[in-house]
Amino acid sequence: MDTQLDLWEVFIQKKDGSEHAHAGSVHASDSKMALQNARDIYTRRNEGTSIWVVPSNYITASNPEDAQMLFDPSTEKVYRHPTFYVVPAGAKQI
């Protein structure tokens, strides 16, 4: 059993304008502690400009047993990929 406080999921934004990406999780008893622990664990090497923390029990995950039902139907629909467009030079975020 986990005796080390509650679990929080950590999302780090690498630079202004980019998305907050999942970095990992931390233990903490409140949101302030979760933010500080996330800072000390996941941004020690200059990785971040912003941090979000969310209690892990607020995340609802899809069931692995449903994976085939949920994701297989999209594998053969190549026409959904915008492969016929030319990406403008200099558009790095696409």
Partner 1 sequence: MTTHNALYKYLLFLGDNGLIQGHRLSELCSNGPILEEDLAMTNLALDHIGRAQAFLKYAGEVEGKGRTEDDLAYKRGEREFYNNLIAELPNGDFACTMARMLIVSSFEYLLFTALCTSKNATIAAIAAKAVKEAKYHFMHSRDWCYRLGKGTEESHRRLQNGFNEFWMFTGELFEMDADFAALANDGIGADLTVLKPQWLTLVQPILADSNIAIPNVDYMQTGSRNGIHTEYLGHILSEMQYLQRAYPDAKW
28 binds partner 1 (CB under 8 A): yes
For partner 1, which is the closer residue by CB, 41 or 70? 41
Q: Which of 22, 40, 47, 57 binds partner 1 (CB under 8 A)?
A: 40
Q: Within a 13 Å sphere around the CA of 61, how many CA atoms are in the beta-carbon half?
A: 7
For partner 1, which is the closer residue by CB, 22 or 32? 32
Q: Which of 27, 52, 54, 56 binds partner 1 (CB under 8 A)?
A: 27
Q: For tokens 């030319």, what's the residue? A: 86
Instruction: Give how far Cα 80 sits from Cα of 52, 68, 92, Å.
Output: 32, 19, 21
